[in-house]
Structure 1
Amino acid sequence: MARLTHASYAEAVETLIAGDRDLARVVARHGPPKLLSRPPGFPTLVYIIFEQQVSLASAKSTYDKVAALLPEFTAEAYLQLSDEALRAAGVSRQKARYTRLVAEATIAGDLPIHALGRKPDEEVRTLLTAITGIGNWTADVYLMLALRRPDLWPVGDLALVKAATAIKSRPHKPDKLWLENLGERYRPYRSVATGIFWRHYLHS
């Protein structure tokens, strides 16, 4: 499966800004985005679930507290944590349930997490979203960050929506169809375009 490298990411940025002056302005103002990546596996998927609908700082704080409770961040060790311990670390009851389901699916083999890198995007998405608590946003972000897939466009991502609204001078929050159509112009590097939009959001 295609996997972005630092070199191919930089090349994709150049291709995108050559074809879109709005993205070119972002890169000229803030510099090119760096390839964002995390190690594939159970810990990263849990981290992304913690990031659902909260700030990045809040999610990192929760993740760090949970990691400190574990001798090793594995699905087996995670299931040994009590609900009280997870709540004390900042994990909501809902996210505790979701992440436990991920751990159980990983152990049972229903989620072959270490083999996802050898599967196409849609198959990865299907396997991930079969688990309660994992929607398209979580699956897309895992594909982008952990598997470094080049062509993801997470239309449900709030940072992407806000950045696209500003960069493309939209008077109102765009709907899903408009965002999907916008993403079409950035194929086959929509993940890289997302990185440029995120860069604008982080600096705005």
Structure 2
Amino acid sequence: MSLKETFPQTPEIKSLTQESFTHALMVLANLDSDFAQILETLGPPPIWARETGFPTLLRIILEQQVSLAAARAVFTRLCAVVEPLTPENFLTLDDVQLRVIGFSRQKMLYCRELANAIRNGQLDLIKLETMDETTIRTELKRIKGIGDWTVDIYLLMALQRPDVFPKGDLGVIIALQKLKGLTTRPTPTQIEAIAQHWRPWRAVATRILWHYYLSALTGNSKLKKL
């Protein structure tokens, strides 16, 4: 049986597995010579998976418009104070406690909105896992502070959906500009047009772009040939 027969390129694959991920890398390398060169030079990217649920969604909110290192430091301090990290336990923290942990006033508001929505039954993250992407996006964006980027990252990393593409992600934007030799950063419309070529594996393409971006930041000498 061929790979195409084993993994038809349709949206039927609801979440990535190691096997479908490996297949997707092969497909993308055949579709895009730049991807092929990245994979040959740097090897395959990590799957970058996270657990589903409140802690992960809260962490993604913390990662909005700040460095991953800064968000990780705040999240680590939070987990040291709140154990287990549930909506109910999070809501016991007052402004002073959250400020000491590293929350901005805006992030306090957003994370409390999320915690309250889950506690009050407005949002059921377990039921969300079985829904289609359009419904998931609609349900999550009802919560103040959750926009398309946050939903994209949750779909991509926690729910492991195969064709999610975070066109507003800075790492993706910078990687695409460098990889495709663009003189200016591509617009969301340009990015979306480029990414159409990678369907139905755009979430895997995102991981390749992140892999390239992170390696470029480290000044990896292997990248000179790219």
| Amino acid across the alignment from 2:125 | I
Residue of 163, 184, 193 corresponding to 1:151 = 163
How far is the alpha carbon of 1:71 from its aligned partner? Answer: 2.4
How far is the alpha carbon of 1:114 from its aligned partner? Answer: 1.4
CA distance in 1, matches of 2:46, 2:78: 27
Unpaired stretches in structure 1, ≥5 consecutive residues: none
Q: Deviations over 1:7-57 (max 9, x none)?
A: 111110111011100111111121111211110000000000011111111
Q: For 1:167-178, what aligned pairs fall within 5 Å after superposition?
A: 167-178=179-190
CA distance in 1, matches of 2:198, 2:31: 9
Q: Secondary structure at the match of 1:26?
A: helix
How far is the alpha carbon of 1:144 from its aligned partner? Answer: 0.5
Q: For 1:100-179, what aligned pairs fall within 5 Å after superposition?
A: 100-179=112-191
Map of 2:36 onto structure 1: 24
CA distance in 2, matches of 1:24, 1:171: 22
> Root-mean-square deviation (CA), in Å?
0.9
Unpaired stretches in structure 2, ≥5 consecutive residues: 1-12, 217-226
| Amino acid across the alignment from 1:156 | G
Map of 1:39 onto structure 2: 51
| Amino acid across the alignment from 2:26 | E
How many residue pairs get aligned? The number is: 204
- TM score, norm. by length of structure 2: 0.89
Query: Where in structure 1 do 4 or more consecutive aligned residues deviate above 4 Å?
Result: none
Map of 1:187 onto structure 2: 199
Identity over the aligned pairs, expressed in percent? 40
Map of 2:8 onto structure 1: none
CA distance in 2, matches of 1:102, 1:65: 19
| Amino acid across the alignment from 1:74 | T
How far is the alpha carbon of 1:203 from its aligned partner? Answer: 0.6
CA distance in 2, matches of 1:169, 1:24: 16
- TM score, norm. by length of structure 1: 0.98
Q: Secondary structure at the match of 1:86?
A: helix
Map of 2:66 onto structure 1: 54
CA distance in 1, matches of 2:121, 2:29: 42
How far is the alpha carbon of 1:172 from its aligned partner? Answer: 0.8
Residue of 98, 113, 118 corresponding to 1:86 = 98
Map of 2:14 onto structure 1: 2
- Structure 1 or 2, whichever has the larger Rg, is 2
